Amino acid sequence: MEISQTQTYTQTPGYFKRLTVIDWLYAIALMAGALYGLSQYGAYMDGYEKAILLLSAPTFAVVGWHWKPMRWLLPLVALLALGAIGLYGGDLANANKKFFLKYMLSSQSAILWMSALFVFSTVFYWVGLLSRSDFGTSVGSKLCWAAVVLGWTGMMVRWFESYLIGADVGHIPVSNLYEVFILFALITAMFYLHYEQHYATRALGAFVMLIISAAVAFLLWYTVSRGASGIEPLVPALQSWWMKIHVPANFIGYGTFALAAMVGSAYLLKSHGILADRLPALEVLDDVMYKAISVGFAFFTVATILGALWAAEAWGGYWSWDPKETWALIVWLNYAAWLHMRLVTGLRGRVAAWWALVGLLVTTFAFIGVNMFLSGLHSYGAL
């Protein structure tokens, strides 16, 4: 006797079939924006820069498909930046003449707002954590988002302002400590906000925002004591398209390593019974550390390779054991060892958390300690 059976198969739609109309409109808008930027400012770009601009559209499209907030963040930043550019009317002097430029949308104003909002965000996250107030952490999260919006707006406007000073002065704002500290704060905040949404907890904001507020404090000190906020022409070694990809990749590494360290501090507190009922499970904290270090290590590896290629073009050799290069290698080896121990021996718990914290000290020295105490080919970034 033959028995027939009806089988039901559940098929997962293909990647592109899972995308909505809004996803596709977002991608089309990004490509249109890239083409508009190319038509308006292509005369100032070389072939490599044009390629980077065009490739950024599909890259950010994919990021937006995976992390939905990017679909409103990028258009909002573009709208504010273009509004500021329109208010300038081609004259940098309008930064002190027009109300919205002077108090909100010039690069300096937007970055100051970013700094204040990050500090207020830190306060609200801590108030919310200590008082078990969802309202407090919710306000902290919204303030962090507002800081990210104004920070990226300030960076985009600063990029435009550099060209208002002179076509030979104009450059992407990632060339000195002032600019990269802003970049560090923004990248760290965005990765935190991603994990906040992914793990559906705001409890870690209090810890991660501490390192961002420390960066803001340094940024403000550096601005006041050194007058570092001015836009200066690039030194010859930085006049390269390599800078546009090497530096952002590097600071994705720095930002995620810092995030992992602060999550590690939360892990250590919870494992000792401090704030234990207010923090996510130890397994969640361990997973965030692992994912943050994994992402950071990948980007830091790419940045190191790009840096070697840039060095070959600028100085004629891929590696020179310059202090900055040497400490970058130490950072890379530290996190390579962390990941190796994690994957091979199952490194977990307090040892992993302490290692992540020590890694922050190593990374901090590579980031600014080398600039403060050592000299070399990278001395253009000295304090």
Q: pLDDT (tens digit, 9 = 90+) per residue, 138-170?
A: 999 999 999 999 999 999 999 999 989 987 888
Copy the structure tokens of residue 152: 């990226």
Whether residue 51 sits in one domain with residue 80: no
> pTM higher than 0.75 for the full model?
yes
Rounded-to-integer distance, Cα 317 and Cα 123, Å: 47
Whether residue 267 sits in one domain with residue 346: yes
Q: Is 54 a member of any domain?
A: yes
* Opening angle at CA 352, ends 349 and 358, nearest 5: 140
Rounded-to-integer distance, Cα 383 and Cα 371, Å: 6
Give the range of the structural domain holding residue 39, as residue numbers without chain letter: 17-66
CB atoms within 10 A of CB 2: 3
Alpha carbons within 13 angstroms on the beta-carbon side of residue 50 total 12
Copy the structure tokens of residue 127: 């108030």
Whose tokens are 């500290």? That residue is 181
Whether residue 327 sits in one domain with residue 199: no
Rounded-to-integer distance, Cα 352 and Cα 364, Å: 18
Q: Which residues of the chain register pLDDT less than 70?
A: 1-13, 373-383
Structural domain total, the chain? 3
Contact 314, 240 (CB under 8 A): yes
Q: Is 8 a member of any domain?
A: no
DSSP conformational letter for 369: I
Whether residue 213 sits in one domain with residue 295: no
pLDDT of residue 148: 98
Whether residue 208 sits in one domain with residue 130: yes
pLDDT of residue 381: 54
Whether residue 330 sits in one domain with residue 260: yes
Among 66, 91, 107, residue at a domain's last position: 66
pLDDT of residue 376: 58
Q: Is 97 a member of any domain?
A: yes
Whether residue 226 sits in one domain with residue 291: no
Q: Is 227 a member of any domain?
A: yes
Contact 143, 136 (CB under 8 A): no
Contact 215, 259 (CB under 8 A): no
Whether residue 206 sits in one domain with residue 83: yes
Report the 3 state secondary structure along 325-342.
HHHHHHHHHHHHHHHHHH
Whose tokens are 């107030």? That residue is 133
Q: Report residue 173: phi and psi, to 5°.
A: -80, 70
Residue 52's Cα: distance from chain center in Å? 18
Whether residue 89 sits in one domain with residue 44: no
